[in-house]
Amino acid sequence: MPRPEVMDRTAGFLKKSLETMPHAKRLDYLNRKLKAVVQHAYKHSTAFKNKMESVGLKPKDIQTMKDLEKIPITKKADLVELQKRNPPFGGFEAVPIETLRRIYVSPGPILEPGEAEYEDLGWAQAMYAAGFRPGDIVINTFSYHMVPFGMQMVDNSLRQAGCIVVPTGVGNTEQQVNIMKSLRVNGYCGTPSFLLNLAEKAEEMGFDCLKDLNLQVAFVAAEMLPESLRFKLEEKFGMMIRQSYGTADIGCLGYECREKNGMHIPDDRIVEIVDPMTGKQLPPGKTGEIVSTTFNKIYPLIRFGTGDLSYLTDSPCPCGRTSPRLAKILGRVDQVTKVRGLFVHPGQADEVASKHPEIRKYRVVVTRKEHKDEMTFQVELKEEVSQPEKLKSEIEQSIRDVMKVRGEIQFVSKGAIPEGAKKIEDRRTWE
Ligand SMILES: [Zn+2]
């Protein structure tokens, strides 16, 4: 096979008919898949049947994605608890155990039934969108032990994308650099920080990442990817780096395309953004918990709460994919505070602070006065500024833009915000 050394890696689709479905067709497609998986899970998964019965639901009550709101959300902690009570899988599996190929173990501990034939396309779509093409030689530096991600998900998805895998796993940086050089490896799967480790090791070994190595594309996950790090690594290797998001339980829930404007939701998946308090679905633009439903017949998790926060965007993407996108991951549900009816979370506060280089340290304090929430943004400055009032109103504007809620700025003296202070401190009492 000719090696894809020089080619346009930004064009095309892995499954064009799925990835470019018009909105109405997509809804219809997902509703049909949902009905089928609900029927299947009700029949074969005792845990799902119990979940439905606990709220008086029958499969016929779930006809559309909107109906999902009626089904209670399953959280990771519930999964751990149910697995303890009803080992090994808590009754969420929908096939006899003897038909499984592998059993994976994730932190928790949570046991995951591994399919005999991996058919899920989510991560493979992510890889294609990241620029991986058939014939690429790829190092998979995710761990192959215990957890399903490296072996079941990434390794199989690379095969679906037509790539050749070198299953290097994590660690052994010097050996990995030598492998990259001798095999002219052009793809990388792993965390962003491990790619940085490899770059540093290669340089220490006297190589020029751009000239001596041949990396062209990277699929990164399992860690936040700061833009500064992406830029640094893309420059160093002369490559394209795209990130994905997902969970070990369900698989890929979002992936970046060439446009880097959020993460497309894979097509064989339902992703809801819900109010963490009520479980009700939120419209695009509103921040809430990411809750997902898979159509996997072996392990049909329906309404699985990830505990991560994001919001959806459904503006058209120039890449041609029509699925809605998750904006970046904004933090964890347990860090969220509600101020005047709106969710406020540390990720937003970080964003505000990042717009103003004068800020050395900050914390958000939420209080309550005469039955009204008040939000104060305490700020330590790097040094005194000549026009503090001007800066104050600029930061207040950023708060309105990013957090959608009004906040007051209070400049405090250096050291007033203790080391390790919570980014959002809720001082409200509810007597
Ligand atoms: Zn796109």
Residue-wise pLDDT for 208-264, tens only, equals 999 999 999 999 998 888 899 999 999 999 999 999 999 988 999 999 999 999 999
* Distance in Å, CA 129 to ligand 1 centroid: 8
* Distance in Å, CA 283 to ligand 1 centroid: 20
Question: Is the model's pLDDT at 31 over the cut of 90?
Answer: yes
* Distance in Å, CA 318 to ligand 1 centroid: 6
Q: Which residues pair with 220 in a beta bridge?
A: 190, 243
- Residue with the two structure tokens 């000719």: 2
- DSSP secondary structure letters along 316-344: PPTTS--S-EE----EEGGG-EEETTEEE
Q: Which of 73-87, 252-266, 331-345 has the lowest mean pLDDT?
A: 331-345
Torsional sign, CA 144, 147, 150, 156? positive
* Distance in Å, CA 268 to ligand 1 centroid: 17
* pLDDT (mean) for 139-168: 96
Residue 142 gets which letter from DSSP?
S
- DSSP secondary structure letters along 147-201: SHIIIIIIIHHHHHTTPEEE---S--HHHHHHHHHHTT--EEEE-HHHHHHHHHH
* Distance in Å, CA 3 to ligand 1 centroid: 26
Question: Is the model's pLDDT at 1 over the cut of 80?
Answer: no
* Distance in Å, CA 98 to ligand 1 centroid: 40
Q: Quick count: other Cβ atoms within 10 Å of Cβ 335?
A: 16
Torsional sign, CA 384, 390, 396, 398? negative
Question: Is the model's pLDDT at 4 over the cut of 60?
Answer: no
**Ramachandran area for residue 414 (φ above 0: left; ψ -120 to 50: alpha; else beta):** beta
SS3 393: helix
Per the structure block, which two tokens stand in for 235?
């420059």
| Position 355 confidence tier, pLDDT thresholds 50, 70, 90 | very high
Q: How does pLDDT run across 92-121, given as a tens digit for each residue? A: 999 999 999 999 998 888 999 998 889 999
pLDDT at residue 431, as a whole number: 59
* Distance in Å, CA 29 to ligand 1 centroid: 20
Q: Quick count: other Cβ atoms within 10 Å of Cβ 235?
A: 11
- Angle at CA of residue 146, ends 145 and 148, nearest 5°: 95
Separation of alpha carbons 127 and 104, rounded Å: 23
- For 84-104, b/e burial (b = at least 16 CB within 10 A) is eeeeebbbbbbbeeeebeeeb
* Distance in Å, CA 256 to ligand 1 centroid: 7
* Distance in Å, CA 83 to ligand 1 centroid: 38
| Position 2 confidence tier, pLDDT thresholds 50, 70, 90 | very low
Q: How does pLDDT run across 290-307, given as a tens digit for each residue? A: 999 999 999 999 999 999
* Distance in Å, CA 382 to ligand 1 centroid: 39
Per the structure block, which two tokens stand in for 421?
């202070």
Going by C-alpha positions, the residue among 88, 75, 80 that lies closest to residue 110 is: 80
* Distance in Å, CA 416 to ligand 1 centroid: 44
Question: Is the model's pLDDT at 6 over the cut of 70?
Answer: no
What's the chain's average pLDDT?
93
Question: Is the model's pLDDT at 83 over the cut of 70?
Answer: yes
pLDDT at residue 336, as a whole number: 79
Cβ atoms of 137 and 174 within 8 Å: the answer is no
* Distance in Å, CA 185 to ligand 1 centroid: 26
* Distance in Å, CA 308 to ligand 1 centroid: 22
* Distance in Å, CA 320 to ligand 1 centroid: 6
pLDDT at residue 331, as a whole number: 80
The size of the chain, in residues, is 431
pLDDT at residue 333, as a whole number: 85
* Distance in Å, CA 187 to ligand 1 centroid: 20
* Distance in Å, CA 257 to ligand 1 centroid: 5
| Position 7 confidence tier, pLDDT thresholds 50, 70, 90 | confident
What pTM does this model have? 0.85
* Distance in Å, CA 259 to ligand 1 centroid: 6
Q: How does pLDDT run across 367-376, given as a tens digit for each residue? A: 988 878 899 9
Separation of alpha carbons 64 and 426, rounded Å: 38
* Distance in Å, CA 328 to ligand 1 centroid: 14
Separation of alpha carbons 380 and 388, rounded Å: 12
SS3 226: coil
Separation of alpha carbons 58 and 70, rounded Å: 11
* Distance in Å, CA 162 to ligand 1 centroid: 21
* Distance in Å, CA 28 to ligand 1 centroid: 21
* Distance in Å, CA 424 to ligand 1 centroid: 33
